[in-house]
Chains A and B, each alone.
Chain A
Amino acid sequence: MVRCDLFLRGPMKNPEVLFPSDATSSAGARLAVEVRNASVVYETADSPVHALENIDLDIREGEFIALIGPSGCGKTTLMRVIADLEKISAGRVLVNGVTPHEARLARAYGYVFQAPALFPWRTVLGNVTLPLQIQGYSRAQSRTVALEHLARVGLTGFESKYPWQLSGGMQQRVSIARALSFEPRILMMDEPFGALDEITRDRLNEQLQQLWQRERRTVVFVTHSIAEAAYLATRIVVMSPRPGRIIKVIESPLPDERHLGMRDSAVFIEVAHALREALAEGHHD
């Protein structure tokens, strides 16, 4: 007998998986992501491409991690591996103490892509309720939750609009609201503001910062921009290409509560300088 509800809804959340007992590091805080000696190798016609080589990284809960580096350094690959969008060739990755595959089935994270990836045949509200519907929320419940999250990104009043009626920045905000709607433990963002102009970008950076301050979710954020990484992150991971590896991890001395004005402060400029140096180091290798 075919289980039609499983066909439509997929596997249900398993609460056990979200709170495993042994995922703590020596520092005492829970580990959201644990990467040990991970490598990703692609076989091509010419020679194998080492997208990632021997990556070791711990991400504690509540941290805002920025992955920064030039094109081809593997930052997106690393995030996709954590998100179970790609497989590692060697090593181990644990998300909330389980494999990325299990974490994905347990809906442990929300993913924001470089493009909004909104469904044009659904309204803004319809797009935000999409993951909720898949997870089996009732109609009324999904609507309420979605409206709340749209309010958090400042898009109240736009529920019945269609994606093409919104600007690029607004579409990305909808995408963020959608990623957060089912309250995942981890938020993964792959250069979400890359296609926007600088002014919009600054505004969205500020909004994202405030959102994170309020909710203290674990965020993994891939970016090209030094200023963005320095402004948003509590810890910045600098990577370099060929093969993709981590050069340096910089703990940000900036306080948790930030505003855009900080970008002219001496501390900020120091952080940016340190990042620039680390990037140059990787470039010359």
Chain B
Amino acid sequence: MKRATQWTVMLVAGCLAGGLVLMQFSPAGGEEASPAFWLATFVLALFAVQSIRRMAALDSGRVYGTLTAALFGVWVIFFWQLLVVAFDVPKVLLPPPSLILQSMSSHGPTLWGDFVQTVLKAVLIGWTLGSGMGFVVAVAIDRLPFLQRGLLPLASLTSTIPLVAVAPIAVMWFGFEWQSKAAVVVLMTFFPMLVSTLAGLKAAGRLERELMHSYAASYGRTLLALRLPAALPFIFGALKVNATLALIGAIVAEFFGSPTSGLGFRISTEASRMNMPLVWGAIVVAAVTGSLAYAVLVQLERRAAFWHPSVRES
């Protein structure tokens, strides 16, 4: 097996090196590319595919699995850069990655301001408030099965309707600033958290509940010692889903109207101005934010719900 690994690593390294060399020869600024260049590109593409296949075929576990996906990503970006420049694709259609990075760095302060406006204010506050309220209401109606039976069907219903559509109304009530976007996020995150927490509170096993009953433990004691810890996997599941919902909600709510800053605002206005590199830049910021937030939540879940089979297996 070690032989195969060695060959694969060499193949990958060779391909990447070949790619870098080819990049030097790529035509720039509208000149025609020679047939030799196209041939070399085609051959490199074949080798790139092979390198991915060899990498995927390696038997080892997670490290090589992640590397395969990373390698795939690297090749996609490489060929994007190469082909867009070689074909001289108009920048309004598809800018090359280099231009996107350039735009991001030159508009750094703008993008930072957008990030603060959207993520740190609307998303974070909305997500915290919405999830928090969902949790509190769920615990409050834990002993009121009538209300649960009434609210649960309605809460599941809200997942089928486009809640972002309340954005214009939120703007009307809370103004153009981040508060209206946060309001939309609160609405979107409240119901999933409510449903998941209620489900989690029911998750404690019958035997465990009877055990606490045999100890004559009070309702509060049982809640703190048994039912809330047992509910943690469900609660974290909802928090993760809510993180994505919050980001989408805030950005889309900004599509419906935002004064001067915000990631959604940046995307929609720069798109209408055909300033594509900056649009892509804002999207990259949003994408990285989403992935990082999710990764952080996964780590927190590992700490808090370390005992759950689903967390242990991963």
Contacts and interface: CB of A to CB of B under 8 A. Distances in A.
**Within the complex, are A and B direct neighbours (CB within 8 Å)?**
yes
B292 interface: no
A7 B214 contact: no
A212 interface: no
Contacts of B306: 121
A162 B307 contact: yes
Given A119-B229, A164-B307, A107 B216 contact: yes
B149 interface: no
A134 B207 CA distance: 17
B210 A10 contact: no
Contacts of A115: 207
B218 A6 contact: yes
A268 interface: no
A130 interface: yes
A228 to B, nearest CB: 21
A131 B208 CA distance: 12
A117 B205 contact: yes
A193 interface: no
Nearest to B212: A134
Given A7-B218, A9-B218, A120 B210 contact: no
Nearest to A113: B207
Interface in A98-141: 104-105, 107, 109-111, 113-115, 117, 119-121, 130-131, 133-135
A165 to B, nearest CB: 10
A10 B221 contact: yes
B308 A117 contact: no
A8 B307 contact: no
Contacts of A204: none
A262 interface: no
B220 A120 contact: no
A105 to B, nearest CB: 5
B interface majority secondary structure: helix
A117 B211 contact: yes
A111 B211 contact: yes
A111 B214 contact: yes
Interface in B71-116: none
Interface centre among A104, A105, A117 (most CB of B within 10 A): A117
A265 B247 CA distance: 75
A154 interface: no
A120 B224 contact: no
Select the residue from A9, A104, A120 with max chain B CB neighbours within 10 A: A120
B131 to A, nearest CB: 21
Contact of A9 (B205, B207, B221, B309): B221
Contacts of B215: 10, 107, 130-131, 134-135
Given A110-B214, A114-B207, A130-B215, 20 more contacts: A8-B221, A10-B216, A85-B210, A104-B213, A107-B215, A111-B214, A113-B207, A113-B211, A117-B208, A117-B211, A119-B226, A120-B308, A121-B305, A133-B225, A134-B215, A134-B216, A134-B217, A134-B225, A164-B307, A164-B312
B216 A85 contact: no
A207 to B, nearest CB: 22
A164 B226 CA distance: 17
Interface of A: 6-11, 83-85, 104-105, 107, 109-111, 113-115, 117, 119-121, 130-131, 133-135, 162, 164
B67 to A, nearest CB: 31
Interface centre among B208, B213, B214 (most CB of A within 10 A): B214
Contact of A85 (B213, B217, B220): B213
Contacts of A119: 208, 225-226, 229
B229 A8 contact: no
A117 B208 CA distance: 5
Interface in B265-314: 305-309, 312
B103 to A, nearest CB: 48
B229 A121 contact: yes
Given A104-B214, A107-B216, A134 B307 contact: no
Interface centre among A8, A107, A121 (most CB of B within 10 A): A121
A130 B224 CA distance: 12
A8 B220 contact: yes
B216 A130 contact: no
A38 B225 CA distance: 34
A164 B309 CA distance: 9
Nearest to A101: B216
A194 to B, nearest CB: 13
Interface in B247-277: none
Contacts of A162: 307
A163 to B, nearest CB: 8
Nearest to B224: A8
A18 B295 CA distance: 54
A190 B213 CA distance: 16
